[in-house]
Amino acid sequence: MAVKRLDELNALVEDPDLWNDSEKAQAIMRERNRLEDQIGAVRQIETDISDHSEMIEMGEAEGDDSIVAESETALQAIKIDLDKRQLESMLSGEADGNDAFLEVNSGAGGTEAQDWAEMILRMYLRWAEKRGFKATVLDRSDGEEAGIKSATIQISGDMAYGWIKTETGVHRLVRISPYDSNARRHTSFASVSVSPVIDDSIDIEIEEKDLRIDTYRSSGSGGQHVNTTDSAVRITHEPSGIVVACQNERSQHKNKDTAMSMLKARLYEAEIQRREDAASDAHSEKSDIGWGHAIRSYVLHPYQMVKDQRTACETTDSQGVLDGKLDPFLEAALAHRLEDSQES
């Protein structure tokens, strides 16, 4: 199937009119390059398995245990690589290859919760950097004293949405509060919502009469990129109650275009969520920013531990996770989703 699709993409690339639509051309090239890499990797794995199997047979025939041990170690490494590629094969949903919008909102608790929301935002920015993805802050509402009330970023890169989509939910922090003069332990919450950037392959209809569009001045903390005019845009989709905002650009027109893309993404994700609610507990994960709904806990006191409640994946390297080492949790969540789909 993948080889047939690659042949189709190669034919499209040879069309001289392809680059008349640069966005479509870039999407085709990304898919083509991804398939080329995947097919090439599978063929290389097949060759390596064959080669090491022959080496084991030769080593056993000659009584050379070192050759056998070396090839068995290589085969174990190949198995680990295959397991990761099986997870990657799950990234075949309608929007998995797209870029992603990720929104962080602080829970109740004022400065403490807002500081936690900013820590979460930083975690995803660092994860994107480690992955080689581009992350752009589209909207940010700062807290009165520290942290953020909310922020929206766009993560751009190969399969960005597919990798990050399982992060939707409530994230719980336990630590000694730096804002408590009595150095007491506090529990804080922040919610994360992930949706795909919608391209022309996914049709989302939005009627103009359903929209309320407001403009306002950027609420940034200062600096050269803060708007000096009311160019920031907030769009409310009244039938669903979804609100999106963008203040990244100086141009009101560009901010409106980006906000409309964000709205399409949220509406798409809402529709997918409605389809999945009957077969999963994802709705309860997103319902309240508080006790009983956390998908992951980050404990910094009295011990160091990050644990995902859905998969039981955990680590004592809490600082590493907050610095963007999220891949073990993302892989475990994808594997968990694979198991659920196979059982159903």
User: Tens-of-pLDDT digits for all 344 residues of the chain?
Assistant: 678 888 888 898 888 888 888 878 887 887 888 788 878 888 999 999 999 999 999 999 999 999 999 999 999 999 888 877 777 777 767 788 889 999 999 998 889 999 999 999 999 999 999 999 999 999 999 999 999 999 999 999 988 999 999 999 999 999 998 888 888 889 999 999 999 998 766 778 899 999 999 999 876 544 444 445 678 999 999 999 999 999 988 899 999 999 999 999 999 888 877 766 654 544 344 445 554 579 999 999 999 999 999 999 999 999 999 999 999 999 999 888 767 665 65
pLDDT score recorded for residue 281: 47
Q: Angle 192-194-198 (CA atoms, 0-180°, nearest 5)?
A: 160
What distances in angstroms separate CA 69 from CA 46, 48, 58, 65, 80, one per listed residue? 20, 15, 12, 6, 17
Level-2 CATH architecture, domain 2-89: Up-down Bundle (1.20)
Determine the pLDDT at residue 304: 97
Would you list the domain boundaries of the chain? 2-89, 100-343
Does the pTM exceed 0.85? no
What pLDDT score was predicted for residue 182? 86
* Distance of alpha carbon 172 from alpha carbon 153, whole angstroms: 20
- Residue 222 has what pLDDT? 42
Q: What is the pLDDT, as a whole number, of residue 322?
A: 98
pLDDT score, position 81 = 83
| Structure confidence at residue 341 (pLDDT) | 61
Q: Which fold has domain 100-343?
A: Alpha-Beta Plaits (3.30.70)
Q: Return the amino acid letter for 74.
A: A
What is residue 198's DSSP assignment? P
In angstroms, the first-to-last Cα distance of the chain is 24
Position 224 scores a pLDDT of: 43
Short-list 190, 192, 135, 127, CA closest to 163: 127
Q: Where are the beta strands (DSSP E) in the chain?
A: 100-106, 134-142, 148-156, 169-176, 185-196, 211-216, 232-237, 242-246, 294-299, 305-308, 314-315
Helix, coil or strand: residue 52: helix
C-alpha 38/C-alpha 4 separation (Å) is 13
Angle between helices 327-343 and 65-89 (to 10 degrees): 70
d(CA 95, CA 27): 12
**Radius of gyration, CA atoms only, the chain:** 23
Which pLDDT belongs to residue 228? 53
Closest CA to 276 of 229, 341, 211: 341
Residue 183 has what pLDDT?
Answer: 82
